[in-house]
Structure 1
Amino acid sequence: MAIPLDYGNAAAEYDAVRRAVGVVDHSGNGVLEVTGRDRAAFLHAMLSNDVKSLAAGQGCAASLLDVHGKIQTFLWVLALEDRVLLLTPPGRAQSTIDALDAYLFSEKAYFLDATGEFAIPMLAGPEAPALVHRLTGASLPDAPWGHLSASLASVSIRVVRGGGETGEPEALLLVPAPDGETVWQKVIEAGARPFGLAALESLRIESGTPAFGDDADSSVLLPEIPFLDKVSYTKGCYVGQEVVVRIRDRGHVNRMLRGLVLDGESVPTRGATIVADGNEAGRVTSAAWSFGLKRPIALGFVKRQQAEPGTMVDVVLPDGERAHASVSALPFAR
């Protein structure tokens, strides 16, 4: 399901998330169910984070890499008593199954694409934990991707602590699809304001959260983006680990995902050229109007030499003009 651009007032929607609580529809995300006695061990050997040590009710962010350390997809892992749920970016469920299946030999791990079987509203904002408690009686887990079963409007749901996509406390509700509209309306009636893509992108980019398909894809090395929440350096081998550890211990990456704060009012397009000292220094990967900073902001890859926060660069705009911009650390300071 595509997220609408807005619900009539993107700035007010943004303010609701920063000051109270908003709700966005993440039902377009993929959902995989992994069963079988070897499910945790197999995923542990495949993914960049520690899956094997997760107890039921715990979770983590992770990446699936290729042997060269390049990102094939982001994943969010939820351990249950009898299965593991993998949340994927939109459109990545089947390709994730295909990629994992290529490594599956005698292990007892079975994959089911459950995309579309769940509605996934996400509450975001400082009042999100209180709203979850008011609606379900459950307390949101403290750790990102921790989760628990609950009931809302007589519907059995799973409540998941988000990882900070918006920079605010978050709760994803995994709801059986037929009950999705009922739960959506109950959440709104309880005070959550729906927010659309314009507010979400402003929140996401301000928070420095890379989106798969925009800021990361199979051309990107994991250490080129903010990645510490997606990796364990103590878990042992996984696909692509050798490259990640070699970069940490003996080398560096030649480009980094950084923020850009632009002058003027024009938002650059994805792929816009970043220029420093008359030479191409990188490319914009995603951009939005920042309702917090009241100016355009972007994420983009810049060469290591220009990656220091405060470095001045130019960004080529859609009309061919150039906007001055300052390189920013992530998340952006508001």
Structure 2
Amino acid sequence: MRSARLYICLGNYQRGILNISAVKIYDRSYWGILELNGNDRSLFLHNQTTNQINFLKPGQGCDVVFVNSTGRTLDLATAYITEESILILVSPNRHKFLMDWMDRYIFPMDKVTVTDRSPELAIFTLLGSGCREFLEQFGISNILDQPEASHELVELEGIQTRIAVGTGLGLTGYTLILPIAKASSLWRKLTEKGASPMSDQTWEQLRISQGRPMPDQELTEDYNPLEAGLWRAISFNKGCYIGQETIARLNTYKGVKQRLWGLQLSQSVEPLTPIFLEGEKIGIVTSCIETLQGAIGLGYIRTKAGGEGMTVNLGDVTAKVIAVPFLSHDYYDPSS
């Protein structure tokens, strides 16, 4: 239907600006939510992930990356700190893997437990520049101007709902977490008030155009979070964590050998299609999808080959390498 279509102006797309003036609603309940409880929960997650957790207070949150001992990426997640626990919003099909992963590092004396809340909780995301006014009509106001990943437990149409700032895509909007038993009721009320449902295809178009990397595509154990452009989810000032030594060394010695970039393609290609520059293989496509304005994609490209602005070849297909808003590639200077 028309409300679910994505219109991308290619000139704006290069600058990462998508014109979504209406309020869209997308059901992300196929993602997962893990919950950490116990007095050691903050320290435990701090030691398990790349970002600074220890100093966060209830109502705050941040993106974190789970990595293995060699600094390879397991998942990009969002942690929400509450008074009683930490909720972790994880990517689709990663909740069981990450629950088992964390459980391996819980020792008998640790005061922390991990629970998979995915079967109990629904996740909706509201996107668009009209989201603020949309939520104000429900009496929601305190959370609307807070920083990314801030969150608050509210009564939304009589349903206890956690509203968090952010969409997971770097776009304007909010994420709602609520009991799955109440999901149909709240969905109906929100759409009756004017939120237009968004299709899976449109979400995927937005994901790729923004540059949000996903497991089994951009986030695999073949890549580290610096290569994946997830610098903003990494603290270089925190203490030791799993994979920290490798990531710190890559930053210190500017050792990132490949980077994730956006692609504007002359036509769609399959993931894993090689990327060539002047006959030499320099990378690989990880995601690709058609839009009304043409094919867009994501791919890893060797750092020495270049980056934004290059024209590359994928067989008979040509592509322009572009920056995408969700990703960053800046080295951090610990002395600054």
Q: Is this a same-fold pair by TM over 0.5?
A: yes
Q: In structure 1, what is the equivalent of residue 77 of structure 2?
A: 75
Q: 1:17, 1:127 → 2: CA distance?
A: 11
What does residue range 52-63 of structure 1 map to in structure 2 within 5 Å? 52-63=54-65
* Distance in structure 1 (CA, Å) of the matches to 2:7 and 2:155: 27
The answer (yes or no) to whether the contact 2:71–2:246 under 8 Å persists in 1 is yes
Aligned to 2:163: 159
Q: CA deviation at 1:141?
A: 4.7
The 1:231–1:37 alpha-carbon spacing in structure 2 relative to 1, beyond 3 Å, is same
1:44 alignment partner in structure 2: 46
In structure 2, C-alpha distance between the alignment counterparts of 1:307 and 1:184, rounded to whole Å:
45
Alignment partner of 1:299 is 2:303: no
Q: Report the counterpart of residue 201 of structure 1 in structure 2.
A: 204
Percentage identity across paired residues of the two chains: 28
Matched, 1:168 2:171: yes
For residue 57 of structure 1, give the secondary structure of its aligned residue in structure 2: coil
Q: Secondary structure at the match of 1:225?
A: coil
Match of 1:188 among 191, 194, 206: 191
Give the distance between the partners of 2:241 and 2:210, measured in 1 at CA.
28
- 1:330 pairs, out of 291, 316, 324, with 324
| 1:76-102 CA-partner distances (Å, limit 9, x unpaired) | 100000111111111111211111121
What is the Cα deviation at residue 133 of structure 1? 2.2
Q: SS in structure 1 opposite 2:5?
A: helix
Describe the superposition over 1:137-181 as per-residue Cα deviations: whole angstroms up to 9, x where unpaired: 23425211110011112111100111550x421211111101101
User: Equivalents in 1 of 2:73, 2:271: separation in Å?
Assistant: 19
Alignment of 1:185-334 (within 5 A): 185-263=188-266, 266-291=267-292, 294-316=293-315, 322-331=316-325
> Residue type of the partner of 2:248?
V
* Whole-angstrom distance in 2 between the partners of 1:232 and 1:171: 24
For 1:147 and 1:213, locate their aligned partners in 2 and report how far apart those are by CA, in whole Å. 29
> Contact (CA 8 Å) 2:167, 2:175: kept in 1 or not?
no
**Structure 1: gaps spanning 5 or more residues:** 1-6, 317-321
Distance of 1:233 and 1:132 partners within structure 2: 36
**Alpha-carbon shift at residue 136 of structure 1 (Å):** 4.0
Shift of 1:206: 1.5
Equivalents in 1 of 2:139, 2:226: separation in Å? 39
**Helix, strand or coil: the match of 1:181?**
helix
Partners of 1:42 and 1:278 in 2: CA distance: 48
Contact 1:136 1:150 in 2 (8 A): no
Letter in 2 for 1:230: A
* 2:151 maps to 1:147: yes
1:33 is matched with 35
Q: Which amino acid aligns with 2:300?
A: F
- In the alignment, is the contact (CA less than 8 A) between 2:262 and 2:299 conserved in 1? yes
Aligned to 1:180, the other structure's residue is in SS state: helix
Aligned partners of 2:291 and 2:299: how far apart in 1? 15
For residues 50 and 28 of structure 1, what CA distance do their matches in structure 2 show?
A: 27
Structure 2 CA distance, aligned partners of 1:131 and 1:213?
Answer: 35
Deviation sequence 1:19-59 (CA, Å, 0-9, x none): 22101100011111111011011111111011111100000
RMSD of aligned alpha carbons: 2.0
Q: Is the Cα contact below 8 Å between 1:39 and 1:84 reproduced in 2? A: yes
Moved more, 155-164 or 109-118: 155-164
How many Å separate the matches in 1 of 2:319 and 2:242? 37
Counterparts of 2:97 and 2:243, CA distance in 1: 18
Q: Structure 1 segments of 4 or more deviating over 3 A? A: 7-10, 12-17
Q: Which residue of 2 aligns with 1:4?
A: none
For residues 141 and 49 of structure 1, what CA distance do their matches in structure 2 show?
A: 23
Aligned 8 A contact 2:75 2:214 in 1: no
Q: Deviations over 1:258-287 (max 9, x none)?
A: 111112xx3212111211111222111111
C-alpha distance in 2 between matches for 1:315 and 1:330: 20
- What is the CA-CA distance between 1:114 and the residue it aligns to? 0.8
Query: How many pairs does the alignment contain?
Result: 316
Q: Report the CA distance shift for 1:310/1:104 in structure 2 as closer, same or farther (over 3 A).
A: same
Q: AA paired with 1:288?
A: I
Deviation at 1:251, TM superposition (A): 3.1
For residues 303 and 143 of structure 1, the distance between their equivalents in structure 2, rounded to whole angstroms, comes to 34
* Displacement after TM superposition at 1:324 (Å): 1.2
Question: Given residue 76 of structure 2, which amino acid in structure 1 is its aligned partner?
Answer: F
